[in-house]
Every structure is written in structure tokens, then in C-alpha cells.
Amino acid sequence: MENKENNLMEKIISLAKRRGFIFQGSEIYGGFSGFFDYAHYGLALQNNIKNSWWKKFVDSRRDMFGMNSSIILNPNVWKASGHVAGFSDPTEDGKQFNVMFRTEVGAGEEATLSYLRPETAQGMFVNFKNTVDAFHPKLPFGMAQIGKAFRNEIAPRDFIFRQREFEQMEIEYFVRPDDWEKYFEYFRDEMLEWMESVGLDMGKVHELEVPDGDRAHYSKRTIDFEFDYPFGRKELFGLAYRGSFDLNNHKLEYQDEESGEKITPHVIEPSFGVDRAILAVLLSAYNEDDPERPFLKFKPSIAPVICAVSPLLKNKPELVEKAEEVFGKLKAEFGRVVWDDNGNIGKRYRRQDEIGTPWCVVIDFDTLGEKGDELKDTVTVRDRDTGEQERLHKDKLVEYIKAKM
Ligand code: GAP
């Protein structure tokens, strides 16, 4: 069992490299432990995942304010947040090692020790007052940020699961203290709903109530959403109740503009790792029911490529010309459309299967009308999941794909 599962990680890692999703960082110099680079298709997948998150948690709401804060903050932020004192992991000899990356800001004697942010959260807390002053939100409201975070992990491992540079999508949701349980439950459901929407295998997602003593220094209650990775059941995302810990430490409060009432809101924090989302999506999508034809069963909404267009033969100008016309139309409509004329048609299908492209469109001699008018201007559309092909008029393609999506 273990071997089969390890094998699965190896297959995913090798597919990610072969098909241009994710490369090892600084590979030509032997790599650098804990750092990875997203290539063309991995980046498209990443963008689609981030966009779907932003759409659900920010754009479709009226109570959420986006943020893109700096990565290096005044070091006093990390003292106040408790990270300088407490953001540590034990090393093998039992000593505590602070996992924040240190950096120097400024030159020579004047240089100030600072840190690369280990969570995006603090960049939002320190802008709490500015946000309230700029947007005048009523409680409850939230701030949301997608961005890089850095941790000098003692043992980075398992591909993009535990890295030293990674990305987070975080919400700090500010509520009246008495309301925290209600919003904790609410975001628990929202998180699950989003996970399902991007195609996670929900049978592999589990909730863990993190016990006293195991929670982060700021948290009064945490649920870890765990995922059954091939290397074990491990954390995917977290939902924390941070109470008034952060706003208190930064000496921030909220004043209701109508009643004049001053309160320190409590915080519910849904926190998502982008890279863990990507790994879980890849693992959920990987299908090798037919070992000869492994494919990534991405939902079309997040697939890096929606459709590939091919002329049956690339040395027949009439086919190429017709295929170019179809390609241009689909590209203008969907953007994530590729031209694929490399190798024979079987090879192209195998390649697009591994990229997770839901539909391949092939322009052949029938399209040119060589078998009569009935088939003229029809193309073959091949479905990734079933491998089945159907013939369709080229002008019906956009409608067809839209309906399927
Ligand atoms: N602001 C709360 C916070 O940072 P966390 O549980 O330490 O909480 C949140 O991190 C999420 O960030 C995790 O659930 C995970 O998805 C992701 N994450 C944390 N450390 C990571 C690492 N070293 N590599 C990749 N993702 C990581």
C-alpha cells in the first residue's frame, strides 16, 4: 500500500515536470530545498484556483475588503504579534528554532533586523484602522489577502506540501465577540463548499478539532481541514478563532459610527495554503483507471487548458488553415486554448490527457468536405474523461463547450 502511494507522489511530481506544471527551484544548480517554481500550466492552475477563491470570498460579497500588503513589515509588528517570541519549531536536539526568515533592511550600521512575513494575516491586522477609516464598514466585515509567506522550515518535504516559500489565501473576519461561534460555523461551511467547487475529493477531506496545547499561540479554537495525501493524513487548511489577540496586541479597536460604541472585535480566520490546494487538486484529479491512459480530471473551470485544437496533419496547408480559423475563434472566447500539432493524434491526446484538457478538437479531411457536404465544416471533439469522440459543426463549438462548462 505504502509503495503504491509513494509511487503516486512520484507520478505526480514527474507529470508536473514533464508537462510544465511545477519545476524544482534552481534545479540546474542542484535545487534548493523547500523552493519550487510554477511553470506555464501550473501557473494557470494556480491563477484559476486563486481567482475562484477571490470570486467566492471577495467579489461576490459586500463585506470583504481586499489587501496586498508588503512582505517586509516593521519588526515591531512581529514582536507585538507574538511571532518573535513564539513562532518556533523544535530542532532535533530539543532546542526551539524561530522559523521566521531574517533579513536586514538598510545599509551598514543603520541596518535594521526584520523578517519576511510568515503569514499574510499581520499585513491585514496592521491595516485594520486604515481599512475602517477608508471604507466605514459595519461589523461584521472582513479583510482578504492572497500572497507569499515564508518560513524557514526545519524539514521541508513532500514536494509543494511543506515549502520555505509558499502562498496563502487568508481572511480575517471581524465580528462582535458574542457572535464568534456563529461565524466560525459559517466559515467552516463556506470553506468546505469552496473545496468541493475546485474539485477536491471530499472523501479525503477530514476535520480535526485541534486540542488545547497544540494550537498556534494566538488561537482559542482551531479546526484543521486535513487531506489524505499519499504520505498520510495531513493539514490542508485551517480555520482559527483568534479572539481579540491581534487587535489587542496592536492596540486597535473599532468604533461604531452610529452609536459611538467602542469595541475590540474578535477574529475568525479561514486560512488556505495555495500550494496545498494545488497538490490536493492534482491528487484528486489524477486518474489511472486505465494505466495506459492516465489523465487529470480537472473541473473545466480550473483546468489550465480548456481546449486543444489540432490539424490532423501539420503538413497539409488546407487543414492548418481551417484549424487556425477554429483555434482563433476558441482562443478569443476562452483564452485557455492551445494549438497542438506535435506528433501523431494519439500522442497529442495522451499529452492533453496529462495536462487535463477537457476537450480536443481535430480538423481532418472530412472538415474540408472530402466526404461530401454533410460532413463539411464539422470537426471531431474528443472528451478527456470518456475518450469518446463526436462530430460537430465548427460554428457550434463555443456553444457546446459553454454548455458543458
Ligand atoms: N495565519 C494563520 C496561519 O498562517 P497556518 O496553519 O500556520 O496558519 C495556514 O498556515 C496555511 O498555510 C496552512 O493550512 C497551509 O495550507 C499553508 N502552509 C503553512 N505552512 C506551509 C508550508 N511550509 N508550505 C506550504 N504551505 C504551508
Are 269 and 188 within 8 A, CB to CB?
Answer: no
What is the reported pLDDT for 2?
Answer: 53
Q: Could you tell me the distance, in angstroms and rounded to a whole number, from the CA of residue 342 to the centre of ligand 1?
A: 40
Asked if residue 374 and residue 259 are part of one domain, the reply reads: no
Q: What range does the domain containing 178 cover?
A: 63-285
- CB atoms near residue 391 (< 10 Å): 13
Please check whether residues 212 and 310 belong to one and the same domain: no
Same domain, 180 and 270: yes
Query: Atom 22 of ligand 1 has which residue's CA nearest to it?
Result: 162
Same domain, yes or no, for 255 and 316?
no
225 CA: nearest ligand 1 atom: 14
Which amino acid does the sequence have at 122? Q
Distance between Cα 162 and ligand 1 center (Å): 9
Length of the chain: 405
Instruction: Evaluate whether 234 touches 227 at the Cβ level (below 8 Å).
Output: yes
Nearest CA, atom 15, ligand 1: 273
- Taking CA atoms only, the protein residue closest to ligand 1 atom 20 is 162
- Ligand 1, atom 17, lies closest to the CA of 273
Residue 261's pLDDT is what? 96
Asked whether 176 and 253 are in contact (CB, 8 A), the reply is no
Shared domain for 326 and 247, answered yes or no, is no
Count of structural domains, the chain: 2
Q: Is residue 37 part of a domain?
A: no
| 120 CA to centre of ligand 1 in angstroms | 10
Domain finish residue from 285, 316, 345: 285
User: Is the beta carbon of 224 within 6 A of some atom in ligand 1?
Assistant: no
Residue nearest to atom 21 of ligand 1 (CA): 162
Atom number in ligand 1 closest to CA 118 = 4
Cβ of 268 closer than 6 Å to ligand 1, yes or no, is: no
The whole-angstrom separation of Cα 119 and Cα 270 is 12
> Does 83 share its domain with 210?
yes
Q: Is the CB of 162 under 6 A from ligand 1?
A: yes
Whether the pTM exceeds 0.85: the reply is: yes
Cβ burial of 329 (10 Å; 0-12, 13-18, 19+) is middle
Question: For ligand 1, is residue 275 a contact (CB within 6 Å)?
Answer: yes
Q: How far is CA 365 from CA 308, 320, 339, 375, 390, in A?
A: 18, 11, 18, 9, 15
Q: Of the residues 250, 285, 320, which one is the last residue of a structural domain?
A: 285
Do 210 and 334 belong together in one domain?
no
Q: First and final CA of the chain: distance in angstroms?
A: 36
pLDDT computed for residue 372 by the predictor: 87
Q: Based on the domain organization, do 126 and 238 belong to the same domain?
A: yes
Is residue 183 domain-shared with residue 328, that is, in the same domain?
no
DSSP class of residue 377 equals: T
Q: Is 81 exposed, middle or buried (0-12, 13-18, 19+ CB in 10 A)?
A: buried
Q: What is the largest CA-CA distance in the chain?
A: 83
Joined grid coordinates for residue 25: 527551484
Report the nearest atom of ligand 1 relative to the CA of 153.
23
pLDDT of residue 6: 66
Residue 271 CA to ligand 1 center (angstroms) comes to 7
The radius of gyration computed from the CA coordinates of the chain, to the nearest angstrom, equals 25
Q: Look at the block and give the residue holding cell 461561534.
A: 181
Q: Which residue's CA lies nearest to atom 27 of ligand 1?
A: 273
How much is the pLDDT for 59?
A: 98
* Distance in Å, CA 272 to ligand 1 centroid: 7
Give strand ranges (E) for 106-155: 112-115, 141-150
Domain assignment of residue 93, yes or no: yes
Separation in Å, CA 255 to CA 136, 214, 263, 265, 402? 10, 34, 6, 10, 48
- Cα 291 to ligand 1 centroid, rounded to whole Å: 34
Q: Which of 253, 285, 317 is the last residue of a domain?
A: 285
Residue 23 near residue 37, CB atoms below 8 Å: yes
Partners of 361 in beta bridges: 309, 381
Q: What is the CATH number of the domain that holds 331?
A: 3.40.50.800
Q: Tell me which DSSP letter residue 56 carries.
A: I
Q: Answer whether residue 108 is part of any domain.
A: yes
Three-state SS for 128? helix
278 domain-assigned: yes
The answer, yes or no, to whether any atom of ligand 1 lies below 6 A from the CB of 223, is: no
Structural domain contains residue 40 = no
Distance 61 CA to ligand 1 centre (A): 25
> Which CATH number characterizes residue 230's domain?
3.30.930.10
Residue 162, domain member (yes or no): yes
Burial bucket for residue 151 (CB in 10 Å: 0-12, 13-18, 19+)? buried
Ligand 1 centroid, distance to 208 Cα (angstroms): 15
Same domain assignment for residues 236 and 359: no
Looking at the structure, tell me whether residues 129 and 237 fall in a common domain.
yes
Residue 11 inside a domain? The answer is no
Residues 270 and 137 in one domain: yes
Ligand 1 contact via 237 beta carbon (within 6 Å): yes
Angle at 177 between CA 50 and CA 167, to 5 degrees: 20
Residue owning the nearest CA to atom 14 of ligand 1 = 237
Q: How many CB atoms sit inside 10 A of residue 366's CB? A: 19
State if residue 163 touches ligand 1 by the CB under 6 angstroms criterion: yes
pLDDT of res. 287: 97
Q: Does 153 sit in the ligand 1 pocket, CB within 6 Å?
A: yes
Cβ(152) – ligand 1 distance below 6 Å: no
In a domain, 318, yes or no: yes
Per-residue pLDDT of the chain (405 residues; tens, 9 = 90+): 457 766 999 999 999 999 999 999 999 999 999 999 999 999 999 999 999 999 999 999 999 999 999 999 999 999 999 999 999 999 999 999 999 999 999 999 999 999 999 999 999 999 999 999 999 999 999 999 999 999 999 999 999 999 999 999 999 999 999 999 999 999 999 999 999 999 999 999 999 999 998 898 888 899 999 999 999 999 999 999 999 999 999 999 999 999 999 999 999 999 999 999 999 999 999 999 999 999 999 999 999 999 999 999 999 999 999 999 999 999 999 999 999 999 999 999 999 999 999 999 999 999 999 988 999 999 999 999 999 999 999 999 999 999 998
Q: How many angstroms is it from 168 CA to the middle of ligand 1?
A: 7
